[in-house]
Structure 1
Amino acid sequence: MRRFRRTLVAAVLATTVVAGTAGWASGTAQTPVTGPPPGTAEWRADRSLGRELPDPASASPGDVAAFFASLTATQQRALVARHPLVAGNLDGVPVALRYEANARTLRSDADGRQILAYDPRGRGQLVEVYGDLDRARRVAVIVPGSDIDARTFDRTSAMARSLYEATDGATAVIAWAGYTTPVGLGLDAATGGLAEAGAERLVRFTDGLTATGAAKAALFCHSYGSVVCGLAAHEADASDIVAFGSPGMRADDVADLRTNARVWAAKAPADWISKVPNVEFAGLGHGNDPAAPEFGARRVPAADAEGHTGYLAPGTSTLRAFAAIARGEAR
């Protein structure tokens, strides 16, 4: 009974603190974008090759990769030309073909960019690659938190560019705004619904990287993105999972994540996220602090990171540590 009361008090405190930080009213409820990409009906009806195309709703990334490997280069490009929205968003399609498909969809907006996915539904989702994803021996994926979509994607791409430059180009870095993020600090940010939908998309994305021959990814998960990574951890094909500025990963400790990946955590002293108690009660809150010693994650220095978004700022010890993890040199 005493434990229940302590948990209830902590949950009420969490509500009070978050409300005091930004206000529940500042959040707008979001409906997650799920399911196969736009244009799937036309894709399914296509019999130009004399056989069915893999169903985007049910085919695994491995199945998609095997199907494309069975086609000639001419056949592959013909599918891209006819169905750029499907080919550009379907995990398992060869990387170069996805770049080509999304360049067709975005036209001049994609000049010189390596867009691995673009889904215009909802607020828009975007995935961009820095470096040579096909040849890089190491891959890192930035998983962002609240308020990130196609319009605000530059915040995530800035993190990805900073990490890419810090590795001296030795690691391909992916800015993955591939899920519906919360808006503001409303109930969406305090609950796990969007994170659950995002985790499914992240697992499929990492499976797609593996299916196309890319190196196993290190996931760098910021803020609400660390909730996504926590829920995806037991299935995502990852070498490392790094939680920074995290409100919790919906896990009691590293063992509860059920992953073989190395788990790291960073939290800056001046990060406002520290004011949010780490509880999970009746669906509210995201559980224990990954940066707390008892969680069992490997600690990443963050004393010189400023605020909630300064972890990848050039010159910080945090960025140097992240770069070492991304290069596979950290122990």
Structure 2
Amino acid sequence: MRQPRTHHRPRRFRRAVAAAAVALAAVLGAGGWSADTQQAVTGPPPGSAAWVADTTLGLRLPDPATASPAEVAAFFEKLPAARQDALAVRHPLVTGNLDGAPVRLRYRANALALAGERERQLARAADPALTPQDHTAARDRAERYRTLLDDGRQILAFDPRGRGQVAEVYGDLATARRTAVIVPGSDVDLHDYDRQGDPYGAPAGMARALYEATGRETAVIAWAGYTTPVGVGPDAATETLAHAGAQRLSRLLDGLAVSSAPAAPATVFCHSYGSVVCGLAGLGPRQTSGVVVLGSPGMGVASAAELDPRVPLWAVERNGSDWIGNVPNVSLLGLGHGPDPTAPGFGARPLPATGSHGHAGYFAPGTASLAACAAVALGR
């Protein structure tokens, strides 16, 4: 009996490792090396233990770690406005980040949380026990919080942990016929999610552009609500942060479905690494009316057939100056995010990108990509 041939296996394994190394090198070389790995912010909001232990209302408050957004919404529906406000005052960081809570209440709670965190940072900036570097960092954070407290800003989520997370609403979630959510890629956090120097490469600028392009008929959420990779490095080439972000995105959408009033679930626009988050979230028709990916390195799936067939998927064509085109569309030994969603065989519906430039230009006014995204957001 002939023995099975095994001597080729080490060779195949070496080839696989070599291919993975080449893929990683290409990913890293596309945008510049970054060895800064991130620890994902997960779990319930800060202050959840005090919230759960609070019995002042004579009620058992929903546990942020285990209660679903639907259960949260049902709890608040039975609670008078005055009692809702009392919870926001006592537990602003929990109330402001509690998916399923009334949107109006979350805005109020997050304003209180921002004001409180700003005061804490100002105190740190004057603490003689801290270093000059600590003082500078505290002043920077305090100023960042001050800008988010400007009149008219609608902060749907605020979490100061780590690099900070935030979500901001453009439009009126209570009256808009439709809703959209912007899911960003790498290098986005509380400090630069609305950066002025690169407006259409940051979620706030993308959201503002989409809101205006829909004639302000669609409420748009700029969601910097997960820990993103920093630079182009191991975090960007793997899916660890995307898996953590996918859980947070899914919960956000569940919350919107029960706490806002659009006629249809939100349309989700996923840019760059954000498209990996969207692909891994397993979104269904109760959560979203459709998914649009832009500048995608892959979605973490082999094809659209692995996603829910009831959720339409669109892929904006890649423009010729987008560096993401240099990233190999592979998934090997934990590196890479799979096939290109714009490839004909992937199964996504194509959208044009005429007029867009670079990796961050798909939401720029006057581009065919922004016009197409606005049409999808409007349900046309």
Over the aligned positions, Cα root-mean-square deviation in angstroms equals 1.7
Give per-residue Cα distances to partners, 1:222-256, cap 9 Å, x unaligned: 00000000001345711110111000001111111
Change (3 A) 1:264 1:9: farther
Change (3 A) 1:72 1:278: same
Letter in 2 for 1:228: V
Among residues 172, 178, 181, which one is paired with 2:228 in the alignment?
181
- Could you say which residue in structure 1 is the equivalent of 2:128? none
Query: Following superposition of structure 1 onto structure 2, how do residues 6-155 of structure 1 map, counting pairs within 5 Å?
Result: 10-24=19-33, 26-107=34-115, 108=146, 109-111=148-150, 112-154=152-194, 155=202
CA apart distance, 1:307 = 0.6
Among residues 266, 287, 296, which one is paired with 1:246 in the alignment?
296
Query: What is the rounded CA distance, in whole Å, between the counterparts of 1:323 and 1:62 in structure 2?
Result: 29
Letter in 1 for 2:334: G
Query: What is the rounded CA distance, in whole Å, between the counterparts of 1:274 and 1:140 in structure 2?
Result: 26
Change (3 A) 1:321 1:10: farther
CA apart distance, 1:22 = 3.4
Query: What is the rounded CA distance, in whole Å, between the counterparts of 2:281 and 2:12 in structure 1?
Result: 29
Change (3 A) 1:303 1:13: farther
Asked which structure has the greater CA Rg, the reply is 2
CA apart distance, 1:117 = 0.3
Whether contact under 8 Å (2:300, 2:337) holds in the other structure is yes
Give per-residue Cα distances to partners, 1:288-326, cap 9 Å, x unaligned: 100111001000101321010000000000000000001
**Normalising by the residue count of structure 1, what TM-score does the alignment of the two structures yield?**
0.95
Whether contact under 8 Å (1:241, 1:261) holds in the other structure is yes
CA apart distance, 1:213 = 3.5
Among residues 287, 304, 317, which one is paired with 1:237 in the alignment?
287
Give the length in aligned residue pairs: 328
Letter in 1 for 2:175: R
Q: Report SS of the residue matched to 2:268.
A: strand
- Could you say which residue in structure 2 is the equivalent of 1:264? 314
Q: Report SS of the residue matched to 2:289.
A: strand
- Structure 2 residues not aligned, in runs of 5+: 1-7, 116-145, 195-201
Among residues 312, 325, 329, which one is paired with 2:376 in the alignment?
325
Query: What is the rounded CA distance, in whole Å, between the counterparts of 1:4 and 1:321 in structure 2?
Result: 44
Letter in 1 for 2:302: D
Whether contact under 8 Å (1:30, 1:188) holds in the other structure is yes
Query: What is the rounded CA distance, in whole Å, between the counterparts of 2:205 and 2:89 in structure 1?
Result: 31
